[in-house]
Structure 1
Amino acid sequence: MFNPSQFHETVQRINTKVPDVQHKASQIDIASVKLANEWFIPEPVARLIIWLKDELIKLVEELMNMMTQVMEGIEAPITMWEDAYKWETVRGIATSVAADVNPSSLGSTGQWTGDAATAYTNAIGPQSTAAAQLATIADSTASSLRSCAEAGLAFYIAVALVVAQFIAAEITAAAGDASVVAAPAGLAAGLAAAATAVGVFVGLVAAIGTLIGTEASQVSTLHGLAVDSTAFPSGRWPVATNI
């Protein structure tokens, strides 16, 4: 279930942590270059330190590029959740109309006879059917929006975790830079952890894309309901009178 408070907390956590990724990357860059240039560091080790550092920086850039893209849609889940609520309101109104204008619910039609009564009964029947169909469309739309909103919340919670994992990888790499002996191993461990985090991120993007694509296919179903000639003759709201 979508939780607005949890969503806002997640957004705040991401916005707070993302700058840390770049800040720590800058620290690693500076510390690695400084360490590699120390007179007591053998050249092969210095080259390894720089290579590991460069690969880690590439992963940072890759992560930041992906983050830029996913952050563009970060308000979408809350918007879809709010829209789902509005569509359920439409559903409620439509079901009320469908019930109110149903011939079987109008006691007066049983006491009224003649051509006018027959015309009236024939006119209100399609109105009830159309209103009921509108309620179905509104409910289906709300359902799809809720599903997308919930998926979006889960996605951004996972993104926040990936960012935290990436920062942890950078901390490991930075710890290696702090020790001459452990520098290559620390940078290598940090690089491996960062690569894993980026891989998880790519998987998340692919998964959310598949789910949204599935929900988007409901558009054609909703279109079919909207032009159903049973409820909407010629794709339009049924005519209420012959005037």
Structure 2
Amino acid sequence: MSGPEEMTNLFERGFQGLEDRARECAQRFNGAVDHINDWRYLLGPTMLAINPALDVIREGLEKMFNLIRKAVEHHAPVVSLIWQSFNWLEKVQQPVNGLGHQAVDTDLAANWSGHAATAYSQRFTSQHEAMVAVATKADSVSKWLMDIAKYNIEYMTELSKMATGFLGALVAAGIESATVIGIPFAVKDLAGAIGTLVTQQLDNLVGIAKRFAEALSKVRDIMSLMTDMKLPNQAWPQAVNG
């Protein structure tokens, strides 16, 4: 199983160069627009077809920039969540799993009888069941935290692929160096490529976001774990009252 350092590094790699790629996408698009404007008089009526295609490209880039901006804003909390999920696993779940009562066959257990023995047996059973219940809850909480961290990493990975795809399409189009004759075709091809990328990547991101939302919706289930008949009044079954 991956540790917090490995998962954090995986998440950080999704961020590594993400803003740089976005910045380069903007620079290449602006360079392409400048190049087109330099030849707008010779392009003449073809500008009527070029401008709508440029709008498609611009809208696609804006969608990506907004997604990156939001991801950067929520970067630190996700890193913290990754570490807390492992902290819960190591500092809560594992210690609790080791606290279960073990039945032992001793002379005392074999010969002890009466009210004290009966009371001990009842408390032993209730406390053991409570321990099992707590261990199960700890496992559920740990898995829930890990799922949320995992979906955040998946989201960042897909967003990084989106930025890489946009940049690759802009480089392949080479509008900033295209001839007057080649400009309309290059813009049309780029608009088509960007439109396809936007559709595919947004579908992927929406799918991840839905799974993330489903995980968050289970917060009610996590809260309901606090209610359990094995933990009377949300407290540990006491051996002695008074």
| TM-score for both structures, normalised by structure 1 | 0.82
Deviation at 1:121, TM superposition (A): 4.1
50-59 or 19-28, which moves further after superposition?
50-59
2:20 maps to which of 16, 34, 43: 16
Q: Partner of 1:85 in structure 2?
A: 86
**Which structure 2 residues correspond to residues 1-243 of structure 1 after superposition, within 5 A?**
3-4=6-7, 5-37=9-41, 41-75=42-76, 77-89=78-90, 90-99=92-101, 102=102, 104-105=103-104, 107=106, 110=109, 115-175=115-175, 178-229=178-229, 231-243=230-242
Q: Percent identity between the aligned chains? A: 19
SS at match of 1:97: coil
Deviation at 1:176, TM superposition (A): 6.2
113-122 or 160-169, which moves further after superposition?
113-122
Gaps of 5+ in 1: none
> How far apart in 1 are the matches of 2:222 and 2:119?
31
Deviation at 1:187, TM superposition (A): 0.8
> How far apart in 2 are the matches of 1:24 and 1:171?
8
When residues 108 and 122 of structure 1 are mapped into structure 2, their CA distance, relative to the original with a 3 A threshold, is farther
Equivalent pairs counted in the alignment come to: 236
The AA in structure 1 aligned to 2:34 is: I
Q: Deviations over 1:202-238 (max 9, x none)?
A: 2122111221123234333333332011x11133332
Tell whether the 8 Å contact from 2:155 to 2:208 is kept in structure 1 after alignment.
yes
Deviation at 1:182, TM superposition (A): 0.7
When residues 199 and 76 of structure 1 are mapped into structure 2, their CA distance, relative to the original with a 3 A threshold, is farther
> How far apart in 2 are the matches of 1:233 and 1:166?
57
Tell whether the 8 Å contact from 2:93 to 2:138 is kept in structure 1 after alignment.
yes
Deviation at 1:136, TM superposition (A): 0.7
Deviation at 1:107, TM superposition (A): 5.0
Tell whether the 8 Å contact from 1:176 to 1:187 is kept in structure 2 after alignment.
no
Deviation at 1:48, TM superposition (A): 2.9
Tell whether the 8 Å contact from 1:176 to 1:184 is kept in structure 2 after alignment.
no
Q: Deviations over 1:21-55 (max 9, x none)?
A: 22222222222222214xxx142023333333233
> How far apart in 2 are the matches of 1:29 and 1:106?
84
Gaps of 5+ in 2: none
85-94 or 147-156, which moves further after superposition?
147-156
The AA in structure 1 aligned to 2:141 is: T
> How far apart in 1 are the matches of 2:179 and 2:224?
66
72-81 or 182-191, which moves further after superposition?
72-81
When residues 121 and 214 of structure 1 are mapped into structure 2, their CA distance, relative to the original with a 3 A threshold, is same
SS at match of 2:236: coil
Higher relative contact order (CA 8 A, sep 6+): 2
Deviation at 1:199, TM superposition (A): 1.4
When residues 221 and 51 of structure 1 are mapped into structure 2, their CA distance, relative to the original with a 3 A threshold, is closer
Q: Deviations over 1:169-225 (max 9, x none)?
A: 222344365311110010111111111121123212211122112323433333333
Q: Deviations over 1:83-140 (max 9, x none)?
A: 22222221111122223xx5x2485862655544544443343232222211111111
When residues 29 and 117 of structure 1 are mapped into structure 2, their CA distance, relative to the original with a 3 A threshold, is same
